[in-house]
């Protein structure tokens, strides 16, 4: 069973982890990549670095995927590499994703899609995925939101997000922590992204500590923004179910099912 | 402290709201039965929402039937903030059919738990005029036993456009449709009280603060979660609409945990949170949830003074 945790160093990562690493201004991308490749060799993993062609001094990287030059999606590419790694006798695949900011809203949407794809990929295949964000290139609120779809965090000042949504087994997504007005927008975006790809999203809410009115509105809006979708929340407490009913959301037009 | 005045409903048209002062059970039964019988003679339906003992007296004379419905008030009678939505629901069955409907509503004055609850029940009577000013048309009779608290009769009269005496309806002279509601000043916080200033990013800390106070008084589990949810909605309003910050005070008063939120915002709508939200509406559910989840809610708001909201939660025995 995957469980969220904060890591002090890259040495602590395990297969199946999906790690969000935020680099300080003083951290160097090349150093980070070099140690990642070295750890991969140590553990018998195939290493893939995703990002724009790295600058000089990156000759240690055997396999670099530039998202801008991929023929198809990043997910398809890493799935291919995972299958190859298996055939080639590696223990597993180890992906280091240097995530670069974009300026279009569309890019943000792609970012959520990509992160949720990688989360599912890591959980389902046992591949290790580390997503590296440079603190200098991203605003803190985006970094905080992106942290919500990584069950594992790494960095000199790792900040545990208020809530996390991460893949659990083949069937569902665990939601833990606190979804209130501060996190409702991110929560809604995550749900919309998941619902764009599948008719039913199963949320395991046993570790969901708190869901406020803004979080419930985000859930209701996401559930009805595309036709023929359904969200199932398992493990909800009686307060969440009561507030959902009281809010008037428990109607057929909002395809959400809540169970204890 | 005042709220703006409700529109008045002229006798005979729209919403009618009539105070029936009585003394003793016989007078209650006589007045209520006369009102019901008039309704039935005119082909109107009647919803009866009175304490159980009073309902039994009426049931002995007129049983439940299609045109007379005795409703269970247990879940709302001591929660004034829930009563307007309850009345909307109770009469909706008839108004949706275009059928004329009357109501008999008496609050459980004999078993009111605190002065704050009594004040909020009276304020509810005043708000009814505003809530139904634009329809639907119906006629509510409010029996009030003067033996209970004669002094409060004048205050009740200020909330009712009409008065019933000797079986006749007449305009209530104490009612001024343009006058604001005259609140009794809120009591001072009981000592010792805790204080916590909050702004953006402080919601988790605010909930922790409340949990610490609640657990001291044995309030845990479901009731604490409900209080957390209500408190979060109020504090979020402070942060978003009340100047970006507020101050929480908590104390124990008459075996209740009171959480008071102060901010610089102004709540213009005195009916805020008292109408059931529509599933399609965007936002506007926060104060509705607060009224539904807390035992008592006191809201005082003025443009020049800001807003104070008190949430009362009964403590376990």
Domain boundaries, chain A: 5-159, 165-258
Q: Which two tokens stand for residue A251?
A: 């109607």
Contact list in B for residue A254 (CB cut-off 8 A) is: 279
The SS3 of residue A79 is: helix
Are B16-171 and B194-314 equal in CATH topology?
Answer: no
Higher-scoring residue by pLDDT: A25, B137: B137
Q: Any idea what DSSP says for residue B80?
A: G
Contact list in A for residue B225 (CB cut-off 8 A) is: 210, 237, 239
Is B240 in CB contact (< 8 Å) with chain A?
yes
A18: enclosing H helix or E strand: strand A18-23
Q: Which pLDDT does position B9 carry in this prediction?
A: 36
Are A5-159 and A165-258 equal in CATH topology?
Answer: no
Mutant choice from B82, B228, B279 vs A, greatest count of A C-beta within 10 A: B279
CA distance readout (Å), A47 to A63, A212, B304: 7, 42, 64
Mean pLDDT of chain B: 93
What residues have CB less than 8 Å from B258, skipping those under 6 apart?
A: B189, B190, B250, B251, B252, B310, B311, B312
Q: Which pLDDT does position B216 carry in this prediction?
A: 94
Per-residue pLDDT tens for B3-42? Answer: 433 333 344 468 999 999 999 999 999 999 999 999 999 9
Mean pLDDT of B177-204: 93
Q: What angle do CA A76, A81, A82 make, to 5 degrees?
A: 95
Topology given in CATH for the domain delimited by B194-314: Heat Shock Protein 90 (3.30.565)
Q: Which two tokens stand for residue B4?
A: 């703006």
Q: Closest Cα of chain A to B225: distance in Å? A: 7
User: Contact at 8 Å (CB) between A119 and A4?
Assistant: no
Q: Which pLDDT does position A27 carry in this prediction?
A: 67
- Answer whether A246 sits within 8 Å of B286, measured CB to CB: no
- List per-residue pLDDT tens for chain A, 260 residues long: 788 999 988 888 999 999 999 888 666 777 778 888 899 999 999 999 998 765 544 666 678 888 888 888 889 999 999 999 999 999 999 999 999 886 555 677 889 999 999 999 999 999 999 999 988 888 888 889 999 999 999 876 667 899 999 999 777 999 999 999 999 999 999 999 999 999 999 999 999 999 999 999 999 999 998 889 999 999 999 999 999 999 999 999 999 999 99
Domain A5-159, CATH number (from 3.40.50.460, 3.40.50.300, 3.50.50.60, 3.40.630.30): 3.40.50.300
First to last CA, chain B: 34
When pLDDT is cut at 50, 70 and 90, the band that residue B293 belongs to is very high
pTM of the model: 0.91
Mutant choice from B232, B272, B274, B294 vs A, greatest count of A C-beta within 10 A: B232
What ranges do the domains of chain B cover? Answer: 16-171, 194-314
Using the structure block, give the residue that is written with the tokens 């903030």.
B81
Other beta carbons within 10 angstroms of residue B36's beta carbon come to 21
Query: What is the Cα–Cα distance from A165 to A205, expressed in whole angstroms?
Result: 10
Query: What is the Cα–Cα distance from B132 to B3, expressed in whole angstroms?
Result: 17
Backbone CA torsion sign across A168, A172, A173, A179? negative
- Answer whether A212 sits within 8 Å of B240, measured CB to CB: no
For the domain covering B16-171, report its CATH number. 3.40.50.300
Nearest to B234 by CA among B275, B280, B191, B291: B291
SS3 string, A31-71, reads: HHHHHHHHHHHHHCCEEEEECCCCCCCCCCCCCEECHHHCC
Mean pLDDT of B294-303: 97
For the domain covering A165-258, report its CATH number. 3.30.750.24
Query: What is the Cα–Cα distance from A53 to A69, expressed in whole angstroms?
Result: 10
Using the structure block, give the residue that is written with the tokens 């657990």.
B215
């Amino acid at each position: 069973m995957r469980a969220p945790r904060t890591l002090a160093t890259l040495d602590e990562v395990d297969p199946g982890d999906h790690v969000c690493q935020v680099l300080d201004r003083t951290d160097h991308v090349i150093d980070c990549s070099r140690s990642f490749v070295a750890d991969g060799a140590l553990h018998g993993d195939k290493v893939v670095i995703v990002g724009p062609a790295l600058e000089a001094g990156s000759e240690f990287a055997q396999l670099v995927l530039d998202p801008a030059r991929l023929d198809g999606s990043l997910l398809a590419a890493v799935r291919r590499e995972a299958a190859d790694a298996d055939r080639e006798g590696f223990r597993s695949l180890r992906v280091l994703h240097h995530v670069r900011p974009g300026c279009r809203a569309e890019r943000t949407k792609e970012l959520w899609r990509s992160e949720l794809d990688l989360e599912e990929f890591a959980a389902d295949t046992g591949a290790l995925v580390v997503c590296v964000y440079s603190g200098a290139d991203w605003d803190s609120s985006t970094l905080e939101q992106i942290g919500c779809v990584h069950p594992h965090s790494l960095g000199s000042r790792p900040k545990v997000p208020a809530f996390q949504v991460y893949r659990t087994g083949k069937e569902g997504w665990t939601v833990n922590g606190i979804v209130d007005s501060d996190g409702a927008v991110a929560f809604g975006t995550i749900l919309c992204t998941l619902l764009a790809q599948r008719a039913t999203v199963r949320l395991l809410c046993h570790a969901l500590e708190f869901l406020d009115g803004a979080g419930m509105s985000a859930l209701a809006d996401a559930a009805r923004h595309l036709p023929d979708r359904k969200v199932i929340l398992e493990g909800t407490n009686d307060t969440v179910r009561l507030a959902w009913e009281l809010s008037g959301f428990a109607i057929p037009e909002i395809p959400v099912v809540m169970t204890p | 402290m005042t709220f703006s005045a409700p529109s008045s409903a002229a006798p005979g048209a729209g919403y009618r709201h009539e105070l029936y002062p009585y003394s003793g059970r016989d007078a209650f039964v006589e007045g209520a039965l006369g009102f019901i019988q008039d309704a039935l003679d005119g082909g109107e339906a009647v919803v009866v929402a009175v304490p159980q003992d009073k309902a039994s007296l009426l049931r002995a004379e007129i049983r439940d039937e299609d045109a007379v419905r005795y409703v269970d008030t247990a879940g709302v009678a001591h929660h004034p903030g829930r009563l307007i939505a309850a009345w909307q629901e109770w009469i909706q069955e008839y108004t949706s059919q275009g059928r004329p409907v009357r109501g008999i509503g008496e609050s459980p004055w004999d078993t009111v738990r605190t002065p704050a609850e009594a004040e909020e029940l009276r304020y509810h009577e005043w708000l009814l005029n505003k809530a139904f000013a634009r329809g639907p048309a119906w006629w509510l009779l409010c029996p009030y036993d003067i033996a209970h608290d004669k002094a409060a009769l004048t205050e009740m009269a200020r909330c009712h456009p009409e008065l019933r005496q000797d079986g006749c309806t007449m305009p209530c002279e104490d009612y001024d449709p343009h006058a604001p509601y005259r609140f009794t000043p809120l009591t001072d916080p009981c000592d010792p009280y805790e204080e916590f200033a909050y702004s953006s990013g402080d919601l988790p800390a605010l909930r922790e603060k409340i949990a610490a106070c609640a657990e001291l008084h044995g309030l845990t589990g479901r009731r604490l979660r409900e209080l957390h949810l209500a408190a979060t909605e109020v504090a979020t309003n402070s942060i978003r609409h009340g100047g970006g910050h507020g101050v929480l005070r908590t104390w124990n008063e008459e075996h209740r945990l009171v959480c008071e939120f102060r901010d610089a915002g102004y709540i213009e709508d005195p009916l805020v949170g008292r109408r059931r939200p529509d599933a399609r509406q965007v936002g506007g559910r926060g104060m509705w949830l607060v009224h539904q989840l807390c035992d008592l809610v006191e809201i005082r708001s003025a443009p020049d003074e800001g807003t104070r909201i008190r949430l009362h939660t009964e403590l376990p025995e």
